Structure 1
Amino acid sequence: MPTNIALNKLRTRRGLKWGVPAMLLSVVYLYLAALLSVLVDGGASKWLYVVMIVCVWNAFKFLIFGPVSLVAVARVRLVERRVQRA
């Protein structure tokens, strides 16, 4: 949910430029998933696997959004040039 809000903000025209730096958030999520895995292996509750899966899912969302934002920026700039020439 917070990642969906962040991605919605990044999908705006002003937010597209932050797509590639936002990919760095995936590193944080993957680190958190690894930490949770270590905790579960150390004897913590198995329910932490659910949180770990959510962290991995969020990491993949941010990883995929980086290249998608580059394509979206290129498309928006192309449309803006066409409008400017017309």
Structure 2
Amino acid sequence: MLGFIVSGVARVVAALNRYLPSLRLIQRVVHRRDSHKWGVPAMLLAVPYFLLANGFKSILEEGGHSLLSVPLLWCLVMGIAFVALGPIGLFLLAKCRVQEVRARRKLSRVGAERRR
């Protein structure tokens, strides 16, 4: 039963990654070192998502079909994800830079010891 649920979730995530490029963008910013600097500009992508969510909300309030709540929820989730992406990207960038500085210092210490 658990394997069936995990398999279903994996298929849904794979389909969403294939057809919704925003998930791919989030994965690249969070999981790649050279993309951490794009976290704060990616926060700007939250604005269209929230505007679209506001449009869906107004349609629903005017008596639109209740199935429009699904894209409304999707827009809200993606907007919140992009808003959270900026600070996460900055934190990961700072963490990587600290690790790089430590590695450089270690290499310079080892080089200085070999020269003696």
Partners of 1:14 and 1:74 lie apart in 2 by 12
Partners of 2:23 and 2:56 lie apart in 1 by 22
CA-CA distance at 1:41 after TM superposition:
2.2
1:61 aligns with 2:84: no
Larger radius of gyration: 2
Partners of 1:52 and 1:27 lie apart in 2 by 14
Partners of 2:61 and 2:75 lie apart in 1 by 17
Give the alignment's Cα RMSD to 1 decimal: 1.1
Residue matched to 1:73: 93
For residues 26-65 of structure 1, give each alpha carbon's deviation from its aligned partner in whole angstroms, at most 9, with x where no partner exists: 1111100001111222332111011101100111111111
**TM-score computed with the length of structure 1 as normaliser:** 0.91
- Following TM superposition, the consecutive aligned residue runs of length 4 or more in structure 1 with deviations greater than 6 angstroms are none
Matched residue pairs, number? 86
Residue matched to 1:52: 72
Partners of 1:54 and 1:73 lie apart in 2 by 28
CA-CA distance at 1:85 after TM superposition:
1.3
1:38 aligns with 2:25: no
1:5 aligns with 2:24: yes
Q: Which is richer in helix?
A: 2
**TM-score computed with the length of structure 2 as normaliser:** 0.69
Mark the runs of 5 or more structure 2 residues left unpaired by the alignment: 1-15, 107-116
Partners of 2:69 and 2:27 lie apart in 1 by 27
SS of equivalent to 1:44: coil
